[in-house]
Amino acid sequence: MLFSPNTRLGRFFHRRNILRWRKAARAASKTDLATLSRYNEIAKKLIRQVDSFHLEAEGRLALPPLGATTFPRPPGSDWHWRPKAWRGPVAIRGIAPALAKMELSNELVIFHDCKEAEIILRQERNMREIDLSPYRVDLEVFHFDGSYLSLVVEVPPESCENLKKNHLIRLAAIIERERPTTIYARLNVKNGPNTEQVLLTLPDATTETMVEFDLAYSGLNQQRVERMWVDLMIEQPAMNKISFRDLTLCRYPRAEI
């Protein structure tokens, strides 16, 4: 019986077990061969099980914890967010084929006009020690006969509270492309009957990429902000696999000059 190390009884038995094997190790040079052989067989069995446990534990402990919201953000940020598809498990882990307007979660929807959708959209666990997000989103496209493909990230209402024209919205991502392709990020802010849009190209010199949407030059009506979403538009997506290893948004005021 394996006692929990979180209880007093468990800690007692674990200490006693360690002391027993320490004593056996010290006496090994003088133990008779028959007894030594039996101890050795038991030790080998224990080593196999301990090694198996150690590898599994090290692997799990090295993973980013579920629900992690930690990521670098500028000083003065008054709102930050990592979408659920990158933060925790979603009900539908994969869609194949991914048809237009299908949801991986209520915050992530795929849009395209492809007649024969040879597209896979799925959530995978991040396994690298350097990953901050627990999950990534993989988009795999084979034949593509459409004119556009985009992932739409629905941003929560908190992002719109007290949103001002002096705010910058930063989108940061870690993106791995199987083949070089341009990805555009478009911020959409609905305010009353109008929707303000800011379109930027995600830099692709490295896997870590970032853009800042400046609302200062938009026609944003600060009193009527209702909703925000981001379009990630992939150019020439055919025969490509794109892994969005992380995606985060944060909001902060522009520095006064």
Percent of the chain residues past pLDDT 90, beyond the cut: 61
pLDDT over 70 at 60, yes or no: no
Asked if residues 200 and 227 have their Cβ atoms less than 8 Å apart, the reply is no
pTM of this structure: 0.75
Domains of the chain in start order, with CATH, are: 8-62 (no CATH), 79-253 (2.60.120)
Give the Cα-Cα-Cα angle 227, 229, 234 (nearest 5 degrees).
Answer: 160
Segment 120-142, tens digit of pLDDT: 999 999 988 888 899 999 999 99
Mean pLDDT, range 78-90, rounded to an integer = 93
For residues 184 and 45, which has the higher predicted lDDT (pLDDT)? 184
Phi, psi of 56 (to 5 degrees): -65, -45
Mean pLDDT, range 237-257, rounded to an integer = 91
pLDDT over 60 at 79, yes or no: yes
Percent of the chain residues past pLDDT 70, beyond the cut: 92
The kind and range of the H/E element at 169 are strand 167-177
**DSSP code at position 256:** P
Distance CA 80, CA 248 (A): 8
pLDDT over 70 at 207, yes or no: yes
Asked if residues 104 and 152 have their Cβ atoms less than 8 Å apart, the reply is no
Closest CA to 213 of 193, 189, 194: 189
Torsion sign, CA atoms 145, 147, 153, 154: negative
Question: How far, in whole angstroms, is CA 222 from its chain's centroid?
Answer: 32
